[in-house]
Amino acid sequence: MLFGLSWKIWINFWGFNLIWALSIFSGNEAMLWVLLLLVLHFLIITKPLVELLVVLATALLGYSIDCLLTLLGVFKFEQVQGITPIWLILLWVGFCSTLRHSLNFFSQKYLTASFAGAIAGSFTYLSAAHFGAVELLLSPVINVVVLASVWAALFPALLWLSDKSSYPDLAKNSEGVLTNDVSGKGDSYGFYSFYSGLQC
């Protein structure tokens, strides 16, 4: 463990940061590497099928919001066939794979998540625009206001959707990680033990 977090949490955290960097700097050319990282994520968790269902549900919501913002003229992607590039879909899958792991701290803390989303979410898009992965079409101030507002609602909404996929009798273990294991031991990945009857 490092700083009280398991090595799998750190893999999840740095894995997504690597996915973000590959997507922003290399786009579709890095899809194979991104897919390999996503496969690694599902290989090291205890219930990959349940994780896949939750990740796909939340990623669909996030990706739909990006498509809507693109259609509304908030930003655009250059040289793509369709509304958005394929790498954006994989990026959303990668981000949503952190919701119950390295971002588990924000679970059921929706107000805190709203503030964090407003700041980090808008900063992420501004960074992506700086590196040429996306073009922001509004004035700088309006861009920040729109992105911060969207992410102030979107991030807690994603967490809520992820939380609602769990049993209602969640308890916190000794490390403060939510789990439906009342003994407080949790599972090996330090995340929710969803649908305990579903085995992979």
DSSP string, 127-146: HHHHTTSSEE-S-HHHHHHH
Average pLDDT over residues 52-74: 96
Residues forming beta bridges with residue 2, ordered by sequence position: 5
In the structure, what pLDDT confidence band is assigned to residue 47 with cuts at 50, 70 and 90? Answer: confident
- From 41-45, 155-159, 169-173, the region with the lowest mean pLDDT: 169-173
pLDDT for the residue numbered 81: 76
Is 34 in contact with 94 (CB distance < 8 Å)? yes
Q: Please name the residue that has the structure tokens 């507002």.
A: 149
Mean pLDDT of 71-83: 88
Q: Provide the pLDDT for residue 50.
A: 87
Domain regions of the chain by residue span = 7-168
pLDDT higher at 167 or 116? 116
Please name the amino acid found at residue 184: G
The whole-number average pLDDT for the span 129-137 is 96
pTM: 0.81
In the block, residue with structure tokens 């003229």: 73
| Cα 92 to Cα 55: distance, rounded to the nearest angstrom | 9
**pLDDT reported for residue 83:** 87
What pLDDT band is residue 9 in, cutting at 50, 70 and 90? confident
Would you state the structure tokens that stand for residue 104, as one six-digit string? Answer: 């588990």
How far, in Å, CA of 152 to CA of 117, rounded?
Answer: 5
Residue 134: pLDDT above 70? yes
* Amino acid residing at 143: N
SS3 172: strand
Average of pLDDT values for 15-30? 96
- The residue-averaged pLDDT of 154-159 equals 98
pLDDT exceeding 70 applies to what percent of the chain?
A: 80
Residues in a beta bridge with 172:
178
Cβ neighbours of residue 137 closer than 8 Å, sequence gap 6 or more: 73, 74, 75, 76
pLDDT at position 177 is 42
Question: Residue 200 above 80 pLDDT?
Answer: no
**What is the bridge-based pairing of β-strands 178-179 and 171-172?**
antiparallel
**Cβ neighbour number for residue 49 with a 10 Å cutoff:** 14
CB 178 within 8 A of CB 192: yes
